[in-house]
Amino acid sequence: MGQGAAPRRMREYDGELGAAVARAQQGDEAAFAVAYRFVQPGLLGYLRGLVGDDAEDVASDAWLEIARDLGRFQGDGAGFRGWTATIARHRALDHLRRQRVRPRPAALEQDVLDLPGPHSTHDQALEALSTERALELVRGLPRDQAEAVLLRVVVGLDGPAAARVLGKRPGAVRTAAHRGIRRLARQLGVEGVTDEAPRTLGEST
């Protein structure tokens, strides 16, 4: 994972998350609860962007599948976040197919958006979002941009991991996330937005 590709807080937690997952795979229920507490806020924020008010129900379904298949997971803390996001996305799409509605960006919780990171233009744009403002702005993003921003910023995945969740090429996800962040930054009146890919949305090559 490239430096700056995920919020710093999530990077710092990944070591502890990976250790908790390993213990949970050995049957440690307390360790599974630790992993849940690390992952759930970002996962719920992502699902709110897909299914709105039904996010809690979809997350519950996703966690049942995560718990059932935990023994098959192989990877570290960052890998676990990507794996759980993939499962959550599948459950969300199943839910939307049942409802016969298209995925729609919804409000992002301020406590999820308010993640510490380098003070770049794009971080400033995100930090300036309130829940009400986020609802207005993120709903205005095209679906591919909204989902890429959710995975990169809220879940904290790097480019390749987000691409695996979406089934797209990393470059396409990077571009969509960059365009979404740029649009948010412009709408918030943040100066200095350029056409260059932001470091915080970069990916390892």
Q: Collect the ranges in the chain with pLDDT lower than 70.
A: 1-11, 101-136, 138-139, 190-205
Q: Please tell me the predicted confidence (pLDDT) of residue 133.
A: 63
Q: Please tell me the predicted confidence (pLDDT) of residue 30.
A: 94
pTM metric for this prediction? 0.69
What would the 3-class secondary structure string for 74-108 be?
A: CCCHHHHHHHHHHHHHHHHHHHHHHHCCCCCCCCC
Q: Helix 159-166 to helix 77-99 angle, to the nearest 10 degrees? A: 30
- In the numeric block, the tokens 């986020």 are attached to 134
